[in-house]
Structure 1
Amino acid sequence: MKKLIITIAISFSAFCATAQETNKPLINISGHADIYYGFDFNRPFSNERPDFLFNHTRHNEVNLNLGLVQADIDGGFYRGSLGLMVGTYAQYNLAAEQDLLKNVFEAYAGVAIDKERKLWIDAGIFASHIGFESAISSENFTLTRSLLAENSPYFLSGAKMTYTPNSKWEFEAGVFNGWQRIQRLPGNTSPAFGTRVTHTPTENLTLNWSTFIGNDFPQEDKRMRYFNNLYAEIQLSQKVALILGFDYGIQQEALESVQAGASRGFEHWYTPIGILRLDFNENWGMAFRGEYYQDQNGVIIEANSPDGFRATGYSVNLDRKISQNILFRIEARQLQNSTPNFLQDGQLVQGNFLLIGSLAITLP
């Protein structure tokens, strides 16, 4: 009994000391601005690039892709973030949300539920657990986002649990309002779920598997979606890095398309990608990207071609770090569909070529 009392007293003292520490949370204010000019050689009359792209979407004009101000709080056993944004990314990527929500980048709060702070619960609007690319341009190997990133969630809303037992493993599971939705789709009453497993066996290798399961339609036309995202980040040398990724998803056919007496099948899409990053020195670097996206049934990308979306993409970008906080980039990107799919002068063509420059400023 005496040992038990001593143990309880020590634990209580440690808890009180921790509570005192959390009375003075760390607050970090940061900002980001990504100003760009892009020229689409298909010269879209509306000055809007293809509607399956949500970053750097305007043609032949100087514009702001993302302007972000964010406050992050770390209270030891609690944390939170509030980020507000403007720009064409917010305009196009959150077009389906209510007006008051269209400028929310992140808004969540979390609490640690164990003494060692290995297990956290967060709730609100937060960055998606899917993929290796961020909406913040300077955090990525390339200037523009991949087809893989543009057509999977950048953000999710709901609640998630994250467990980090050690430096090599991290696990996440969550319940969400839908596939990149802040508010649930009208008529949809079914929650969505997702998981993530990240393994870092060495400091030069990161492996990730993320999933999403849910219905993104009203209940009368419920179509279950099952999605997998896999990628590996490999630091080949001090100046050479490689990302290899693969997405695969399936979704139930629409009820109206199923013939009487037939079983309900699935439509699928997939996309492989590889990005090679070269750093010449502290100020200069470049990256090469190759990707392919196939969605013949229009599950994610509705194509202009009757044969569906089957596009190969290539890009090369050159980066110049002007200072620790300022990054200038220029990129050339070619998308080529297997059949005519992109609009040019009122006609469908197979290719789409973009030349784009960006100046990204990050503070602090």
Structure 2
Amino acid sequence: MKNRIHLLLTTTWSAVAMPLMAQTIDSTASTTTQTSATASNTGLVLSGYIEAYYTHDFTAPKTSQERPGFLYNHKRNREVNVNLAFVKAAYTSERVRGNLALQVGTYAQYNYAAEQGLVRNIYEANVGVKLSKKRDLWLDAGIFGSHIGFESAISKDCWTLTRSILAENSPYYLAGAKVTYNTPNGKWTLLGSILNGWQRIAKLPGYSGPSLSTQVQFKPNANLVLNWSSFLGSDRPDSLKQTRFFNNFYAIINSNGKIGAILGFDVGADRKPIGAGNQRVGSGSYVWYSPVAILRYAVSDAVKVAGRIEYYDDKNGVIIATGTPNGFKTWGYSVNFDYFILPNALFRVEGKLYDSQDAIFETSTTLSKTNTSLTTSLAVSF
């Protein structure tokens, strides 16, 4: 383990120490996800995004081409590939809006594996109508990015190259209908939605649904975002009677400053299922949770570094099944380096270490409690 950590830190530091010159850009800004209609931004807008990457897993066998099963982004190992690429058409007017984005890449390959073939290449497809002439109140329906969590599949818009464990194992996309209201002072966002399920475009066979989800977001000033999102439904057939209640909390502090921080916490519970004889396996629920903290420092307008520490506890294997005595109880540590080559071109390097209570990571000879990797990527938006 010591040799792996030494190699990981040495390689990451070598990348960070490269000579640096670039143009200015704010990594929290996105030119590919804007959908709100404004007086100065109406009509049809075409945009796109592509992220190529290379991940080297130092723990996995040399013949293994995939990263651990609980990961869905940057999944391929020891090969140059495309994580996500899409082209998007967005139409906005005073009272109507619509988005259509078609995707390819390993993110779509693995994260949409359970969906029907015709929809696996849809990153976004939705229409919206403004319900009030005077208020920012919208009704949207279709397939859209999830409001649960502070990370998305668009790596360029996230503070770290790879996603946190809690993001990888909660919805990236949702399908259904939602009502969104933004207060006139811009401080509050309230959202309520009816969904087909837990990251489901087609409903899970045997589940009648629907599922419900909410979001309450508060921005008291430019330096603080507070968010609570929830999900109520199930990801199991009706016969098991397993209701799921999930909560996502996060705070983003000083996102555009020299030093910024993100603090997140997910906690979910699935009611214990119906077993033989139509009796419950036991009282109560299976609970999983995950805290995460990310600290980012802006060396300059073009260079940013970030560190992340996270923990994921799913001892009952509700979300991540391991078949081991303690289930999935894993710490994650990562160091991230960002270099903005151009305002719309971002080069990134990230070293990551996973440390699990049980031996769950495959090696060339046996199973290991730790996993180390190095990922690089180049992302361009237009």
With the length of structure 2 as denominator, give the TM-score of the two structures: 0.86
1:309 is the counterpart of 2:309: no
Post-superposition Cα deviations, 1:308-353, rounded to whole Å, max 9, x if no partner, equal: 0000000001111000111000000001001211111252110010
Contact kept, 8 Å, 2:260 with 2:297, in 1: the verdict is yes
Residue of structure 2 aligned with 1:162, choices 155, 180, 189: 180
1:152 is the counterpart of 2:167: no
Pair 1:196–1:257, CA change in 2 (3 A) = farther
Contact kept, 8 Å, 1:304 with 1:341, in 2: the verdict is no
Post-superposition Cα deviations, 1:218-274, rounded to whole Å, max 9, x if no partner, equal: 211231000000000000772111000000011011212899587532000000000
Residue of structure 1 aligned with 2:60, choices 30, 40, 43: 43
Residue of structure 2 aligned with 1:140, choices 158, 179, 185: 158
Pair 1:148–1:261, CA change in 2 (3 A) = closer
Larger radius of gyration: 1
SS for the counterpart of 1:51 is coil
Gaps of 5+ in 2: 1-37
Q: Which has the higher contact order (CA 8 A, sep 6+)?
A: 2
1:29 is the counterpart of 2:33: no
Letter in 2 for 1:266: S
* 1:255-270 correspondence to structure 2 within 5 Å: 255-256=274-275, 264-270=283-289
Residue of structure 2 aligned with 1:340, choices 339, 343, 359: 359
**Map of 2:121 onto structure 1:** 103
Letter in 2 for 1:217: R
Residue of structure 2 aligned with 1:330, choices 349, 353, 360: 349
1:113 is the counterpart of 2:131: yes
Post-superposition Cα deviations, 1:30-51, rounded to whole Å, max 9, x if no partner, equal: 1111100000012243311111
1:205 is the counterpart of 2:224: yes
**Map of 1:226 onto structure 2:** 245
SS for the counterpart of 1:255 is coil
Write the distance in 2 (CA, Å) between the matches of 1:90 and 1:239: 34
Gaps of 5+ in 1: 1-20
Write the distance in 2 (CA, Å) between the matches of 1:306 and 1:351: 17
Write the distance in 2 (CA, Å) between the matches of 1:119 and 1:177: 22
1:246 is the counterpart of 2:272: no
Write the distance in 1 (CA, Å) between the matches of 2:50 and 2:136: 33
Pair 1:343–1:257, CA change in 2 (3 A) = farther
Post-superposition Cα deviations, 1:114-134, rounded to whole Å, max 9, x if no partner, equal: 012411100000011100001
Write the distance in 1 (CA, Å) between the matches of 2:78 and 2:104: 20
**Map of 2:31 onto structure 1:** none
**How much identity, in percent, do the aligned residues show?**
47
Write the distance in 1 (CA, Å) between the matches of 2:80 and 2:53: 6
Pair 1:114–1:87, CA change in 2 (3 A) = same
Write the distance in 2 (CA, Å) between the matches of 1:303 and 1:261: 23
**Map of 1:278 onto structure 2:** 297
**Map of 2:210 onto structure 1:** 191
Contact kept, 8 Å, 1:258 with 1:264, in 2: the verdict is no
Letter in 1 for 2:115: E
Contact kept, 8 Å, 2:215 with 2:227, in 1: the verdict is yes
Write the distance in 2 (CA, Å) between the matches of 1:257 and 1:245: 38
Misfit runs of 4+, over 6 Å: none
Displacement of 1:80 in angstroms is: 0.9
Write the distance in 2 (CA, Å) between the matches of 1:314 and 1:258: 45
Write the distance in 1 (CA, Å) between the matches of 2:336 and 2:281: 49
Letter in 2 for 1:267: Y
Q: How many residues align structurally?
A: 342
Write the distance in 2 (CA, Å) between the matches of 1:105 and 1:97: 12
Contact kept, 8 Å, 2:156 with 2:379, in 1: the verdict is yes
What is the root-mean-square deviation of aligned Cα atoms in Å? 1.8
Post-superposition Cα deviations, 1:87-138, rounded to whole Å, max 9, x if no partner, equal: 0000000000011100000000000110124111000000111000011010
